[in-house]
Amino acid sequence: MVGGERIDGGPRSAVVVGAGIVGLSTAWFLQERGVDVTVVDRSGVAAGASWGNAGWIAPALTTPLNSPKVLRYALRSLRDRSAPLHIPLAADSAPWAFLMQFALNCRPSKWNRAARANVPLNEECIEAFDVLLGNGVDAPVTDAPITALFRSTHAAEHMVRELRALENAGQSLFVTGLSGNALREQVPLASGAVTAAVNINGQRYVDPGRFVTALGEAVAQRGATMLTRHVRGVFSSGNAATVLLEDDESLSADAAVIATGAWLSRLTDRRLRVPVGSGRGYSFTVPVDRPMPGPIYLPDVRVACTPYNGHLRVAGTMEFRGPHEPVMAERVGAIVASASPLLEGVRWAERSDIWVGSRPITPDGLPLIGETSRNVYVAGGHGMWGLAHGPVTGRLLTEQITTGKQAEALRPFDPLRRAVA
């Protein structure tokens, strides 16, 4: 931790850069502590990865990405453009430098460290959502199991063993197996190829765009200044922080928080030694012939499906490509090709709302949460779990900003650590 314990009651003002789930949650909890907040985002509320993801609040599934299994799969997938994990063979060396650090962290010891570090966030993430919902954030949240579908009992048992590894790291789990009529009742869209399923109980889902928009409205109604501007830099300046905007304008406050997702590294003035990469995910919406009672997970093809306004939102793929690049149509086609044999009654050809968003990925599977220089903080790098961990991140970081005391749960996420020891 850079600064010491606050002796003057903490900051009275803060600028939060980034209007996704992490930034807005931090803004909301800062307001709860009496801090005057300005939120700045180059595109507005929920314009990035917060809009089109699967919408799962799934603490039991927060598996760190940096596992030896993922590394082996990535190497096999290098030349397969349709693989769920896609690494373009580009000449640009920056992604490869990130991926080299990622490969060095794909060891059991590193994975276990990340899994254990996530447990305190998982234990508090649903409660943090409840605090928001009970205090003015007007958006529905649905309790439901997430049902994983498999072609064989053997594949289902393999996933249960993987979940047990999370349980061994301290994560609470409640899973039940399904087959036959119980499976078809739980998942009316399951095709004949599906013979086994596993319910991961005690989870939730939301429409992420609607939830984050409602959170932004709540922050604005509580008095925050909301600006749609491009930010060029964030700096510590004596006992304050300065946010430099386009056209050489600036904002000054007692504290500043950088919560810009996959763009996090661009505003930290080389203070971070852990790079933040862009793991792009795709989603689209399709009509269905039968209603779905809850989310579906297809682990073998790494596709997540969520009820969405009477339709199905289908999300998948992990594509290491720059966050600014456009939708790659072949990636959407690859999701359809992999998921369609497992689901029937889905009108794949009528898909709409095709979207791509950049998940902020770190090489060691741990987000970056904390102080980088006096009065300047970062919050991001949650990978696929930014929605689930956004509110609890905002609550814990607010405690550090306003009191100068770092919660024990945040110590593994020190933003000034090294990704490779």
Domain assignment present for residue 300? The answer is yes
pLDDT at 180: 95
Q: How many domains does the chain have?
A: 1
Domain assignment present for residue 316? The answer is yes
Task: Provide the β-strand partners of residue 296.
Answer: 147, 305
Domain that holds residue 237: 13-413
CA-to-CA dists, residue 237 to 13, 23, 240, 242, 379, angstroms: 14, 21, 5, 6, 20
Sign of CA dihedral 351, 356, 360, 364: positive
Round to the nearest angstrom and report the end-to-end CA distance of the chain: 18
Tens of pLDDT along the chain (421 residues) come to 444 444 456 899 999 999 999 999 999 999 999 999 999 999 999 888 888 899 999 999 999 989 888 777 666 666 666 666 666 666 455 567 788 898 899 999 999 999 999 999 999 999 999 999 999 999 999 999 999 999 999 999 999 999 999 999 999 999 999 999 999 999 999 999 999 999 999 999 999 999 999 999 999 999 999 999 999 999 998 899 999 999 889 999 999 999 999 999 888 867 888 999 888 899 999 999 998 999 999 999 999 999 999 999 999 988 877 777 788 888 899 999 999 999 999 999 999 999 999 999 999 999 999 999 999 999 999 999 999 999 999 999 999 999 999 999 999 999 999 987 6
Q: Which tokens is 320 given? A: 């290491």
Q: In this predicted model, what pLDDT tens digit does every residue of 247-296 receive, in sequence order?
A: 889 999 999 999 999 999 888 867 888 999 888 899 999 999 998 999 99
Domain assignment present for residue 2? The answer is no
Pairing of strands 311-320, 85-86: parallel
Domain assignment present for residue 408? The answer is yes
The 8-class DSSP code of residue 270 comes to T
The 8-class DSSP code of residue 273 comes to S
Domain assignment present for residue 421? The answer is no
DSSP codes joined into one string, 12-46: SEEEEE--SHHHHHHHHHHHHTT-EEEEEESS-TT
Q: What order do you get walking across the sheet with 250-253 strand by strand?
A: 231-237, 240-245, 250-253
Contact between 110 and 363 under an 8 Å Cβ cutoff? The reply is no
Q: Which tokens is 19 given? A: 């209007």
pLDDT at 3: 44
Domain assignment present for residue 6? The answer is no
Domain assignment present for residue 107? The answer is yes
pLDDT at 321: 75
Distance (Å, rounded) from C-alpha 142 to C-alpha 151?
Answer: 27
pLDDT at 302: 92
DSSP element (H, E) containing 283: strand 277-286
Contact between 361 and 381 under an 8 Å Cβ cutoff? The reply is yes
Task: Provide the β-strand partners of residue 379.
Answer: 369
Contact between 64 and 105 under an 8 Å Cβ cutoff? The reply is no
Domain assignment present for residue 5? The answer is no
Q: Say which CATH number the domain at 59 has.
A: 3.50.50.60
DSSP codes joined into one string, 73-109: HHHHTTT-TTSSEE----S-HHHHHHHHHHHHT-SHH
